[in-house]
Structure 1
Amino acid sequence: MNDYVGASKAVAKIRMSLPTLTDTEARLAQVLTEYEFLEEKTPIKEIATKAEVSEALVVKVAKKMGFNGFSELKSAILGYRKGHSADLYSEISPDDGLKSIATKVFRTSVQALEETLAILDIDAVERAAQALAKANHVDIYGVGGSAQIGRDVSHKFLRIGRRFTVQDDSHMMMMSASVLTKQDVVLAISHSGTTTAVLEGADYAKSNGATIIALSNYDRSPLAEIADITLASTAQGGPLLGENAAARVAQLNILDVVFVQVARLDGELANERLARTTMAVSNKRKHS
């Protein structure tokens, strides 16, 4: 693993652990990741004082994030800052011109893609593809922007002859879940992993035997706890862009990988159906 990928994984680990932290622990995490004077020689006491917490809590939070201790966490943050990705993201300001805005928007998406690739669980992708390939029926649960991701996925899979149904209403999700069986799959999409309608629908579907695939920006979210398979993106954001915009790009790419693998599993049948669906809409395009 090269230093850049390793640092990206480390910082993604920090970001994805945030939903599991208390308010005090989250404040400490913010100090750790934003402290501009952080150096390899920075003592734990300095960070504890800055965050107004005990040194013991600093060690506890480092371990909660998946590191051996404060020193490993500090090294991960410093390694990330040294990599070129550390300079990719900066929040849009009132003084930015359109060129600067475009650059920041694009670079935020590039960063999300690179970091998501660094932490992508290939085994989970394979299991998700296998589950979708074998499913009798697939329902996609999501609201707002997550529902739009679901519609893109539904459109993509229809191209190879697989019909996915998008449910973006809490009542429809519960009705769907009530009739699913162990031969069926739910693809539950929630950026935060805490969307009530998606959680309730996925939980009910699972109680009826359906396989739950979660797609979220946090791999320790309540949705991930329900899921049989979790596909995680990682994206940071600020007041204007937020996380969702960049995460949406990363999540669409994750599902593109799953789509390609399902098509591979389907083999010639996928190619045949792709040719048929492409032909079906070809006369809807204006030719010169």
Structure 2
Amino acid sequence: MIDEDFLWRTILVLYRQKLIENLERFTPGERKIADFIIASPDLLKELSSQQMAETLGVSQSAIVKFAQKLGLRGFTKFKMALVEEWGQQISDHKQNSSHLHNDISSQDSLSVVAEKLLSEKLNAVRKTTDSLDMVQLKTVTNLIQSAARIHIAAIGSSALVGKDLAWKLIKIGFNIFSEYDSHVQLTIAQTLTKQDVLLAISFSGQRKEVLLAAEIAKNKGATVVAITSLQDSELRKLADYTLDTVSDEPRWRSSSISSRSAQFCVTDLLFMALLQINDNEGIKMIEQSRSHIKKLL
């Protein structure tokens, strides 16, 4: 014997698409019912056939006959099957609407994605700025200003932040190293002395490559400055000075967008502080660099 409930569910998997495809074939009264079902199937959870008839301005018998036309025995069975199929659609939608990054889902429009990214980045920059110890920032600025050499230890996206800072400081005359290869970073770290500074950039503060470079540099007498998150970490314990970065990173993410924004906030502040100290010579070197580059155009 065929399970009628199973048969109704099977028929209903196809029913909404059939309604959409056959709208032009329905009578005006049937089309009114079909339009309502396609647009608001969830509302049927609370409506009886009589209430639906009153809502649409049709007879109760018209709704019953429409359900029978779909191959279902009466409105009650029709509603039960519809609610079940709709619930499955909602469940499938939620599964398919996967998170791509924090609050951003695959269903968001590009304008919504843009707004969410802007909010995330601004939040990271604001929280980082509010949390910075400006006295320590000034101390670190002076240490970098007087250092014989500056070496940046970082990997992944933090290495991009380090390379950006290195490029900025090179333009105003600083002797700074920023290599992507962790083996090279360790090699440079072992050449540092007490006249040098190692900038260790790591949001987690737990990356082995960065920790080892910082440990080697400290053993050689160099000053270790960590640009890291507020969480307790091995890097915070090892560093002589820390500049804090704050972002909503514990949530699910596809890329280190907010932590990188927070890191750029700190490194850009460092650059501006050093440019203030070296304003005359620094601006002169930037203009000279710009002039040389124009010759390539």
Superposed pair shares fold, TM > 0.5? yes
**Is structure 2 residue 259 aligned with structure 1 residue 239?**
no
1:217 to 222, 229, 237: 229
Please tell me the root mean square deviation across aligned C-alpha atoms, in Å. 1.8
Shift of 1:241: 4.5
Contact 1:161 1:274 in 2 (8 A): no
Counterparts in 2 of 1:264 and 1:219: CA distance versus 1, 3 Å:
farther
Tell me whether 1:120 sits opposite 2:132 in the alignment.
yes
Corresponding position of 2:295: 283
Q: CA shift at 1:188, angstroms?
A: 0.7
Deviation at 1:276, TM superposition (A): 1.5
Partner of 2:55: none
- TM-score, structure 1 length as denominator? 0.64
Decide which of 107, 115, 121 is 1:103's aligned counterpart.
Answer: 115
**What SS does the corresponding residue of 2:148 show, helix, strand or coil?**
coil
Q: 4+ residue stretches of structure 1 with deviation over 6 A?
A: none
Alpha-carbon distance in 2 for matches of 1:189, 1:90: 23
AA paired with 1:214? A
CA distance in 1, matches of 2:279, 2:102: 44
After TM superposition, give the deviation of residue 171 of structure 1 in Å: 2.2
Q: Name the CA distance, whole Å, in 1 between partners of 2:136 and 2:290.
A: 30
Q: Which amino acid aligns with 1:103?
A: E
Write the distance in 2 (CA, Å) between the matches of 1:233 and 1:128: 15
Q: State the AA in 2 paired with 1:176.
A: I
The structure whose RCO (Cα within 8 Å, separation 6+) is larger is 1
Q: State which of 142, 161, 180 in structure 1 corresponds to 2:154.
A: 142
Unaligned 5+ residue runs, structure 2? 1-100
TM-score by length of 2: 0.62
User: Structure 1's 279 and 272: CA in aligned 2 closer, same or farther, altered over 3 A?
Assistant: same
| Structure-1 residue corresponding to 2:35 | none
Counterpart residue number, 1:167: 179
2:193 maps to: 181
Q: Distance in 1 between matches of 2:166 and 2:187?
A: 19
Question: 2:198 is paired with a residue of what secondary structure?
Answer: strand
**After superposition, where does 1:43-82 map in structure 2 within 5 Å?**
none
For 1:92 and 1:261, the matched residues in 2 are separated by 35
Q: What is residue 194 of structure 1 aligned with on the other side?
A: 206
Percent identity between the two aligned chains: 29
In 2: Cα distance, 1:224 partner to 1:246 partner: 20
Distance (Å, rounded) in 2 between the aligned partners of 1:186 and 1:248: 19
User: How many residues get paired?
Assistant: 196
C-alpha deviations, 1:98-143, integer Å up to 9, x for none?
A: 2111111111001111111111111121111111110111111111
Residue aligning to 2:267: 255
Distance between the aligned counterparts of 1:152 and 1:136, measured in 2? 20
- Residue 215 of structure 2 corresponds to 203
Unpaired runs of 5+ in structure 1?
A: 1-88
How far apart are 1:219 and its partner, in Å?
Answer: 5.1
Evaluate the alpha carbon distance shift between residue 171 and residue 241 of structure 1 in structure 2; reply closer, same or farther with a 3 A threshold.
Answer: closer
Partner of 1:102, secondary structure, is: helix
Return the letter of the residue paired with 2:109. G
Tell me whether 1:271 sits opposite 2:283 in the alignment. Answer: yes
